[in-house]
A and B are shown apart, each in its own frame.
Chain A
Amino acid sequence: MEIILALAIGGAFGAVLDRISASNPNVIGRMLNLTNLKLMKAILLAIGVGSVLMFAGQMLGIVEVGHMSVKTAYLGVFAGGLLLGVGWALAGYCPGTGVVAAGAGRRDAFAFIAGGLLGAAAYMATYPAVKATGLLDAILGSNATLGAIPGTDYPGLTGLPGDTLGIVLGLVFVAVAFVLPERIIRKDARLPAE
């Protein structure tokens, strides 16, 4: 059963990433250089829709609260995010979209995956040294959520009710998706006059 779910959900995820062009490095480049934010709008809408459905489902007792998995916060999360951001802009791929792009036949995606396997191996080799720096020590309440979520042990960063907050924030993500302009930087404003 688990194998069928992996194939069904993973396959759907790969197909949707292809259809919203998240696995197209041109579209990632245009999103990150702020000339075409349609993909950003899709991502914000997706986070909002997922959040509202998950928390509403939990409150109605349809969604198992134990299916949640909240990761620990530590300084390395931010530092790793910075590194990933540089590579994401350079390659136009993140780990998931690189795999999808390889499936679509993009040759550079295979180079991305090869580099990724080496980068992951480099982390495996340097993990003890990284750990010794304290970068992996938990901060901000460890595996905290913004508000305490009923039925979980995750600490709440604030005293607000986590499930209601999740729905409200989900709606905020949806609203931001609609309000965000499709383009922030105009070509003529970015390039000097010739």
Chain B
Amino acid sequence: MTLDWKTGGLALGLVFFAAVLLVKPIGVSTQFVILDGVLWDAVDPAVVTQTEDSYTATNAYLAKSGGKYAKAVANPLNYSFLFVLAMLLGGAASAWQRGGVGPAERRVPELWKANFGDSPIKRFAAAFAGGFIVLYGARLAGGCTSGHMMSGMMQTAVSGYLFAAGAFAAAVPTALMLYKEEA
């Protein structure tokens, strides 16, 4: 069973509050960089190295802010990385408990199907390209829908409003162009 917007919005707000009460504001997109770093460092262990008091990396992005990301790559069992893994498990448990996502929907989502047909290859290509643009954009912005839009606007962060303005200014026209058929 899915939640109506009032119950669901309240529950989501309580999760964001719990995060900032107990630890820190929620954020997700950095962990894509950390997983990239973990995979890269597994192939080439020279990428991330320990310094006297912290970590550094041959990649300028991993090395920035005093090696904060390099340190997380070296120790991936940290709060932020486990948080995202737990999201996957929480999503899986919740979906399974409400009866799961049906096989047709798992293959090609219905709104996509109504507009672009039943080819999973086409859908996967769009989702892959979308993922590339989303994460490049999120790293350029320094956060995503969770960190900038929800956590940011909740804290009255100017950057959160700037991000949300950009995200909706692009997302709404794109969706209006893509999804003309309703489903």
- Give complex CA distance A112, B28 in Å: 14
B82: chain A residues at CB < 8 Å are 3, 6-7, 10
Cross-chain contact A111 with B166 (CB below 8 angstroms): no
Q: DSSP class of B's interface residues: helix, strand, loop or mixed?
A: helix
Count of A-B contacts judged by CB separation below 8 Å: 515
From the candidates A7, A43, A70, A177, name the one contacting B159 in the complex (CB within 8 A). A70
- Give complex CA distance A169, B157 in Å: 12
- Give complex CA distance A165, B4 in Å: 29
Cross-chain contact A51 with B132 (CB below 8 angstroms): no
- Give complex CA distance A149, B95 in Å: 39
- Give complex CA distance A15, B12 in Å: 10
- Give complex CA distance A149, B155 in Å: 10
A153 at the interface (CB under 8 A from B): no
Cross-chain contact B5 with A70 (CB below 8 angstroms): no
Known A108-B109, A140-B162; contact A80-B150, beta-carbon cutoff 8 A: no
Nearest chain B residue, comparing its CB with the CB of A11: B90
Q: DSSP class of A's interface residues: helix, strand, loop or mixed?
A: helix
Taking the nearest CB of chain A, how far is it from the CB of B68, in angstroms?
12
Cross-chain contact A19 with B148 (CB below 8 angstroms): no
- Give complex CA distance A14, B19 in Å: 13
Taking the nearest CB of chain B, how far is it from the CB of A51, in angstroms?
5
Cross-chain contact A103 with B87 (CB below 8 angstroms): yes
B154: chain A residues at CB < 8 Å are 47, 50-51, 54, 170
Cross-chain contact B145 with A88 (CB below 8 angstroms): yes
Cross-chain contact A105 with B106 (CB below 8 angstroms): yes
A179 at the interface (CB under 8 A from B): no
What's the tally of chain B residues with a CB closer than 8 Å to chain A?
126
Cross-chain contact B79 with A2 (CB below 8 angstroms): yes
Cross-chain contact A73 with B144 (CB below 8 angstroms): no
Taking the nearest CB of chain A, how far is it from the CB of B104, in angstroms?
11
From the candidates A15, A86, A135, name the one contacting B170 in the complex (CB within 8 A). A86
From the candidates A5, A18, A79, A99, name the one contacting B28 in the complex (CB within 8 A). A99
Interface size band for A:
35 or more
Known A9-B18, A46-B13; contact A91-B87, beta-carbon cutoff 8 A: no
Nearest chain B residue, comparing its CB with the CB of A38: B5
Cross-chain contact B6 with A135 (CB below 8 angstroms): no
B18: chain A residues at CB < 8 Å are 9, 12
From the candidates A47, A49, A81, name the one contacting B167 in the complex (CB within 8 A). A81
From the candidates B3, B25, B36, name the one contacting A117 in the complex (CB within 8 A). B36
Give 18 CB contacts A-B under 8 Å: A16-B94, A17-B87, A18-B90, A18-B91, A18-B98, A32-B179, A38-B5, A46-B16, A49-B13, A49-B17, A51-B154, A71-B160, A73-B157, A80-B138, A81-B164, A88-B167, A89-B130, A103-B91
